[in-house]
Structures are given as structure tokens and as C-alpha cells.
Amino acid sequence: MKITRLYLKIFFAFVAVLVAAEAVVFGFVLSMKMHPPFFRDSLERVMVIDMLVERELADAPTTPDAVNSRIKPLLDVLAAGFHGDIWLTDDRGAPVSASFDGPPPDVEDDLVSVNLKAPEGVRFFLVENREFRSVYLDSEISLHDGTAMTVHVLYAKRPPREEEWFLKGLILLTCLGALFIIPVSQRITRPILKLAETAERLGQGDFSRRVEEKGHDEVAVLARKFNRMAGRLEKMVLSGRELTAQLSHELRSPLARMRISLQMIMERAESGQGADNTKLLTGMRDEIEHMDELIGRMLDLSKLDLREPPPRTDSVDVAGLLRELLGHYRPMIDRRSIHIEADLAEAPRLLCQAINLRSLMDNVLGNAIKYTGDQGMVALWLRLEGTTLLVRISNSHAPLSEEELTAMFIPFHRLGRGSETGSGLGLATAQRIVTMHDGSIEASNGHLPDGGECLTITITLPLS
């Protein structure tokens, strides 16, 4: 068995708490604020002795000789049973009968008063001297003819010291606790050690490792939070790798075209034909702008993956937002004679992150207008179903296969139809934003109000 540092910390903390508790309890006992059970037992015993003596002398003469002859056998039995000395004195203090031979012990100067609630007529004292420590009690009784006598009880031998037994018991408890803490600490440290091992593997690049989530205690909470962190790290790293690979592929084509253009410019310059390079330079400028846009869109997409979903503190009228975006695209719509069909029902305002929601609708609506041919149609539809907002944006388009409908949400994926160019990141960004708002987005084939075939993007967003 390996003794871990955490076990030692738990053990010493346990011992410190136990010692502090023992010191407090033992201090109370020694200060007489907490009395040992023996004190209460002594009071009960003297009450029993009083009752038995009174009963034994109930019908006997009360002369000293008669009392002694009648009561001495009883005192001997009680003294032997209670492990003490018992004697009886008259109202003048003269001994009448005793369980021992000789004069009564002289303990008057060694008596220490104890603040203990006792029955009327009973006094309780501690006897403290260099030879022994004991307890002394005396109790007044009245015989059948009114004769007053006093019963004296002295525990001449050292009585059991409950505080010592209590201390020994606590020491034994401490030792047993130290042994029992070993499996308890192992139960605590085992998941922590596994967590440390998994964190080490995570640091080495193995993002698939997770720890067991068992129970509802603090260690289980730590395990759940660690697994969520590992999942986010895995998503971030894989997304970064994916975006890096895809970006490398996307940038290779414009860089190759720029390299060819630059080579042609250099060849023309060497042959003295450098005056006619405007078209090549314009093409290179367009390629640079395209790459700059591509990198910007990729950074925006990466930010959505790298951060926690922002709080939904904004309230947006989705129908109003769609009408506003249609106004922004109006010049393109009019130039290409695109017909707009908008069926936007009134709905409660959506609790969301306004900037991201605007980007979502702008990406989807912009794609629909951008990839609609001249004199085509774009249809917008908005409804409230229960507590969910349903948005459909359709545009004239030939039917797509199921693979293409799914793949269009993959970063940098483009359908490859038509003359329009794009980054291939619009729908991927839209999907990330919808997921951040606990919604869903999907693409499907359908029909427009005029009966033409179309591509439909359906977005569902919970109101809160």
C-alpha cells in the first residue's frame, strides 16, 4: 500500500480535529463543568444506602449499641459491594457503626467541594491528597423515632476515573480512524489520480480520453466539468485542424493563379512588353481580396468554435430583421429581376444574441439571393409553432441529392453550380450560430408558391 500525500493531509487533518475535540471535552471534564458518570452513580448509591439503613432500623431501638448490632452486617455488605468505607454517626458526630475497625478516616482537611446538583441533605466532595484521590459523601437520615443520624461514604480506594478511560478510548479511536482513513482516502484519491493521468494524456494530444463520472459529490462534479472541458478542447483542436487543412487547400488555387500571373508579368517585362499588364494585375488584386475575405470568414467561424455560447440578452423581431435584410439586398434583387414572396407572420420577439442572429439570417438570405438565377424567385416564410420560431427561406434551384443537402453545411463546401463564387463558409457559420441558440437548421428540396423547384433552408429557434 502506497501512502500518498493526500492521505497524509487527510490523516493529519483528522488527527488535528480529533485532538482539538478531545482537548475541549477533556478540559470540560477536568474543570468539573462536565462530571464523570461515577459522580452520579455515587449519589444514587448513597441514596440506596440511606433507604436500606432506614428500613433496617425501622422497628429497632435507636440506642448506639442496638443500632450498631443491627446495622453493621448491612454496612459490611454495602461497603464490599461499593468498594468503599461506610459509617454512621449520631447528631453529635460520634461514630455509631462502621464497615471497618478503628476510627473513621480524617479527610476533613482534604475535602474539595463539587458543584453538583444533589438531593436535599446530601453533600458531595472530592478528596484530594498526595496518597489517593477519592469521593466522599454524607447524607442526613431520620429514624422512626425522630433520631437524627448521618451516613458517611468514602471511596477509600481510587475510584475508576472515567476521564482517563474516555481519553484512552479517544486515543484508540484515533488509531482506528487512521487505519480506516486509508481505504477512504484511496477512494477519494483514485478518481483524482485518474483525472491527473487523463489530463496528462490530454496534454500529450490524446483528446479522446475521458474520466468516469460516478456519483454526485465534488469529485464527480470535477469529473463532469473536466470531461466538458476535454470535449470543448477536442472540438476546438479538431476544428482548427480541419479549418487549417481546408484553408490550405482553398488558398492553394488563388496562390497558383497569382504565381502564373506574376510569371507572365516578369516574362513580359523581360521581353519589353510590360505596358499591357493591367488585366493581370487586376486579377492578382482580386485574388488577394478573395483570400483576405476567405481568411476573415474563417476567423469568424473559428471564433464561434473557440468560445462559449454568449448569453442571450438581446430581444429581436425576426420578421422585422428579415424585412430589413431584404431592403439591403434590394439593388441586387431589382438588377436581376428576382421575385420576392414574403409570408412573415407576427411572432414574439426572440431572446438571442443579436449580432450572431443577424449574421445567421444574412448568410442564409444572402446565399438564397446570390444563387438564384435572373427572374427567379426567393420565398420567405415565418411562423410560431408552440414556443419555437420556424423560418423557411427558399430560392429557385434544381433538386439536390441527399449527400449534397448534407454536405453544404461543411466548411468550404460549394455546390459548384452557376457563375457565382463564394467562400463556402456561409452555411457552416449559420449552423454554428443555430447550434449556439439550441436550434436546428437543415436543407431540403421543395416547391415555390409558383410551382417551381427550389432549395429550402429551414431554421428552428426556441423563443427562450
Beta strands per DSSP E along 372-432: 377-385, 388-396
On whether the pTM is more than 0.75, the answer is no
Whole-number pLDDT of residue 242: 65
273-293: pLDDT as tens digits: 655 677 777 777 777 776 776
C-alpha 48 chain-centroid distance: 60
Q: What is the CA angle 142-151-60, rounded to 5? A: 50
How many residues in the chain? Answer: 464
pLDDT at 319: 92
Q: Walk along the chain (464 residues) and give the pLDDT tens digit of each residue.
A: 556 666 677 777 777 777 777 677 666 655 555 566 677 888 888 898 889 988 888 888 888 888 889 999 999 999 888 888 999 999 888 999 999 998 988 888 888 887 777 888 888 888 876 555 688 889 999 888 888 999 999 986 554 555 566 667 767 777 777 677 777 777 777 777 888 888 888 877 777 788 888 777 777 888 888 888 888 777 777 766 666 665 665 566 567 667 777 777 777 777 766 556 777 777 777 777 767 766 766 666 566 655 556 677 788 999 999 999 888 888 888 888 999 999 999 889 998 888 888 888 888 898 888 888 899 999 999 999 988 999 999 999 989 888 888 888 776 666 654 445 555 667 877 888 888 888 999 999 998 888 889 999 999 999 87
113: β partners: 125
Beta carbons within 8 Å of 220's beta carbon, 6+ residues apart: 213, 214
Burial (0-12, 13-18, 19+ Cβ within 10 Å), 97:
buried
E strand spans, 274-313 = none
What is the secondary structure of 244-280 as a DSSP string?
A: HHHHHHHHHHHHHHHHHHHHHHHHHHHTT-TTS-HHH
Q: Pairing state of beta strands 95-98 and 111-113?
A: unpaired
Q: What are phi and psi of 345, to 5 degrees?
A: -75, 155
Amino acid letter at 230? A
Place of cell 423515632: 145
pLDDT in tens, 116-152: 778 888 888 888 765 556 888 899 998 888 889 999 9
- Residue 102's Cβ-count burial label (10 Å; 0-12, 13-18, 19+) is exposed
Q: Walk me through the domains of the chain, giving residue ranges and CATH numbers.
A: 37-160 (3.30.450.160), 218-306 (1.10.287.130), 314-462 (3.30.565.10)
Residue 338, judged by CB atoms within 10 A of its CB (0-12, 13-18, 19+), counts as buried
Report how far residue 137's alpha carbon sits from residue 134's, in angstroms, rounded to the nearest whole number.
10
Q: What angle do CA 50, 51, 52 make, to 5 degrees?
A: 95
- Helical axes 426-436 vs 354-370, angle rounded to 10°: 150
What pLDDT is attached to residue 417?
Answer: 46
SS3 442: strand
